[in-house]
Amino acid sequence: MGALEAAMGEDESGGHVLVIADDNFQLRSMRHALFRAARDRGMAFIQAHVDCSLATACTRNQQRTGLAAVPQEALCRMAQQFEPPQPERFAWEASSLVVSSSPWNGDEDDRSYTAGIDIQANHQSHQLWPADRVQALVHELQRLWGPPPPQPPSAEELQRQREEGQAANATSYVHGLDVRSRKALSEAVATAPESKRAVVARGLNERRRALLQAARQLLAQAAVRATGATTAGPDLPTAGPGFAEDDVLLLQRLQRLEEEFMVDAGL
């Protein structure tokens, strides 16, 4: 990585810098380290994967002599360890150029994925690739070559996202509580004697408003603690020792308040 780090440094000439890391990179973590290095320097990133079966690799290796030949056990171990690109699972591998070692069967869908290059045939015959295959490879390379990967969100951005998520969850919970308590109130009033319905409705409405206000305050207190703030605004009390519950205890307290209201409603 030291040489790559140096190659990725500032280009004093003001021109473009193309860094090619030629290695097996059989583990995804190895490739991700290069991705991070490129991203942190504002450089575009693309990885090329030659899809070659173990049988094909062994056949080619048998044709080598001397130091060029790779031990058979090393090839088998590499095949077992190899983690091919999975752009559908890992977004950072979206720019993956996959070149097949098998002959192209004429399928356009397959061609768009493998660039339609028969490496094995050209390797054995020592012929240059046909112009249309080279052009297909270049087009695929140009399609995948995009702008530098976006920088990861800053700590401030992550905090903002957490706060927005907490606010959305709180709003959703209070809305659901409002709907459930309103339904319970309607059912309680409907089953009460007609002469007492007004009294029942008035009493349960007061309890329902208190329930919703308590839920809003508890959720606001949790948000204040999460952001590390010292005050909760003019309409909400400051977080204190009485509001030291974690998320589980907070949920239990909200559920208990709702259960108490349902008991009052006779449900």
Return d(Cα 181, Cα 258) in angstroms, integer.
Answer: 8
> Helix, strand or coil for residue 252?
helix
List of E strands, the chain: 47-51, 96-100
Convert the pLDDT of each residue in 154-189 to its tens digit: 788 877 887 777 778 778 888 888 888 888 888 888
The pLDDT of 3-23, averaged and rounded, is 69
CA 212, 215, 221, 224 torsion: positive or negative?
A: negative
Whole-structure pTM value: 0.51
pLDDT of 230 higher than 70: no
> Taking Cα atoms as reference points, which of 178, 195, 196, 204 lies closest to residue 261?
204
Are 129 and 104 contacting, i.e. CB atoms less than 8 angstroms apart?
no
Q: What is the mean pLDDT of the chain?
A: 76
What pLDDT, in 10s, does the model give residues 96-127? 998 877 554 444 444 434 443 444 444 444 45
Count Cβ atoms below 10 Å from residue 14 Cβ, excluding itself.
6
pLDDT single digits (tens) 132-150: 878 888 888 888 888 888 8
Tell me: the pLDDT tens digits for 54-81? 998 899 899 999 999 999 999 999 999 9
Q: Is 119 exposed, middle or buried (0-12, 13-18, 19+ CB in 10 A)?
A: buried
Note whether 5 and 34 are within 8 A (CB). Answer: no
Within 10 A of 149 (CB to CB), how many other CB atoms are there?
A: 19
